[in-house]
Each structure stands twice: as C-alpha cells, then as structure tokens.
C-alpha cells in the first residue's frame, strides 16, 4: 500500500492508523516503513484534528 491509498479524510485516517497500530505494528515507525509512508505526513494530517502520536500507548490520542 502506498500513501495515496490511505484514507484522505482525517477521521477515517485516524481510525485506519490506530487499528493498524493496535493489530499489526508495535510502532508508528514500523507501520510507516511497511506502508512506505512518511510518519511526519501522518502526524501532520492527524494534528489538524488535534491528535498526536503517543508512543507509550502506540496510538494517536
């Protein structure tokens, strides 16, 4: 999957990313590496709806 395949809507992206983190990846870096996406792009998009990555919880909160 490439970045253009990720959901465009920030709320749908949030759900998608948190589900992937919960079910498949131990960290955001590993998710991004596997999906060939930029972590800063995801963080920025989700920051626009007031979510930030919590590494300890391994999810956006």
Predicted pLDDT at 1:
46
What percent of the chain shows pLDDT beyond 90? 90
What is the spatial distance between Cα 37 and Cα 47, in angstroms, rounded to a whole number? Answer: 16
What number is the average pLDDT over the span 14-42?
A: 96
**Under 8 Å between Cβ of 36 and 3:** yes
Residues 33-52: tens digit of each pLDDT = 999 999 999 999 999 999 99
């Amino acid at each position: 999957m490439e970045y253009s395949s990720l959901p465009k809507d920030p709320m749908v992206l949030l759900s998608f990313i948190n589900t992937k983190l919960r079910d498949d990846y131990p960290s955001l870096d590993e998710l991004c590496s596997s999906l060939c996406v930029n972590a800063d792009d995801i963080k920025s998009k989700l920051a626009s709806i007031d979510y930030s990555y919590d590494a300890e919880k391994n999810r956006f909160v």
